[in-house]
Amino acid sequence: MAILPFKRVMCANRGEIAVRVFRASTELGFRTIAIFSEEDRVHLHRYKADEAYLVGKGLEPVAAYLAEDEIVELAKRHEVDAIHPGYGLLSERASFARKCRDAGIVFIGPTPEAIDALGDKVAARKIAQAAGVPVVPGTPEPVRTIEAARAFADKVGYPVMVKASAGGGGRGMRVVRAAAELAEALERAGSEARKAFGNAELFIEKLVLRPKHIEVQILGDNHGNLVHLFERDCSVQRRHQKVVEYAPAWSLPLDLRERLAQDALKIARQVDYTNAGTVEFLVAGDGPDAGAHYFIEVNPRIQVEHTVTEVITGRDLVQAQILIAQGHKLSDPE
């Protein structure tokens, strides 16, 4: 595979991650392109780029950064070679990755096919099972009726977790500790998921008690090479949002940490994963399955917490993303 001669890199995002992408791109010698909504016209990321352009005139701020067609057309007009989506917003939209590809612009991230396969949590569970990786007992398909939800919860026993099939970030999730709470939890989680992700589908899992929440950083190139960069412990959370993250996960046995890393690679290989991603697991802390680990989801993008891994490995993950998108091998010198 020939190395693509990038000259101009856009970040289709805002705030800290856009600044991060511009720093990495500048250090690699590329000219940087920012986009900004009307409300963000004086925000820092606009001034950290070599060029900046307004998008989504007349739209709400978030909607402006989700204007896929306008962003791609703007990139074409200004001869952008590659677009980094950052995290959030367009980063897990396979439709945007496809539009970039169709326009001859490199999407700095996994393929649209990998995003499609892993972006839906129900589909990702099936991929993990096909790879021989344990998953939390859950509904094999999204729940369509309250009767189906009750039947599953009665079978596995309370407490259970109602979860949105799409998206992440703790949205569309509710813990249900008794049958009387189930209907309201489904209604609230579905409403929240619809607003956040445009998809109200939900599934239900058995609640893992007092778990450790562990995530494994993976990185794959376009030549079939795939590695993990160890794990991060993100067990300290509030409302399903991570508050403290550290690496390595020193409270877990070394052999368990290695099993988690290998299971992450098994899942990634099922979809020929490329670029950066994070595979997340729960390790049960209480109950009859204490110490057992379960796959929960893949985030097919760079994460906010990627800098924790950078500290322990010395690897610039955003630069790695860009170099992989250019066609470099993981083994190539940075």
**DSSP letter assigned to residue 3:** P
- Nearest CA to 61 out of 91, 41, 44, 45 is that of 41
CA–CA dist 74, 71 (Å, integer): 5
CA Rg value for the chain = 20
Q: Which residues pair with 32 in a beta bridge?
A: 9
Q: What would the DSSP string read from start to end of 162-224?
A: EEESS--TTTTEEEE-SGGGHHHHHHHHHHHHHHHHS---EEEEEPPSS-EEEEEEEEE-TTS
Name the catalytic one among 76, 126, 242, 266: 242
The token duo for 44 is: 């820092």
Examine the residue annotation and report whether 76 is marked as an active-site residue of this protein.
no
The token duo for 79 is: 């001869």
CA–CA dist 164, 190 (Å, integer): 7
CA–CA dist 44, 15 (Å, integer): 7
Q: Cα 184 to chain center, whole Å?
A: 28
Q: What would the DSSP string read from start to end of 103-126?
A: TT-EESSS-HHHHHHHHSHHHHHH
Residue numbers annotated as active site:
242
